[in-house]
Amino acid sequence: MIAEDKKKALEFFAEGRKHYKLMKFQEAREAFAHALEACPKDGPSKVYLERCDDYIKNPPSEDWDGVWVMRAK
């Protein structure tokens, strides 16, 4: 059985991924932030939240295929 906090985090993560794929990075960021409120140690939500922050500042091109490209080491 999945703990309630993990279940909530998964729901918010799925919502965030949906928005992320649609290039709605602000909405995705909010969903990933809620996932982290429910489960602060959720690594994937932390990664996607950081990516959303980057894409909000530096939007990808219109033909973006959803692939993350690291720009710095």
* Predicted local distance difference test score (pLDDT) of residue 72: 67
What does the pLDDT look like over 5-20, one tens digit per residue?
A: 899 999 999 999 999 9
Structure tokens at 42: 């959720």
Q: Is 42 in contact with 9 (CB distance < 8 Å)?
A: yes
For residue 12, tell me if it sits in a domain. yes
For residue 64, tell me if it sits in a domain. no
Q: Is 45 in contact with 36 (CB distance < 8 Å)?
A: yes
- The angle formed by the CA atoms of residues 19, 22 and 23, to the nearest 5 degrees, is 90
For residue 24, tell me if it sits in a domain. yes
Amino acid, single-letter form, for residue 31: A
Structural domain boundaries, residue 39: 4-57
Note if the pTM is more than 0.85.
yes
Number of compact structural domains in the chain: 1
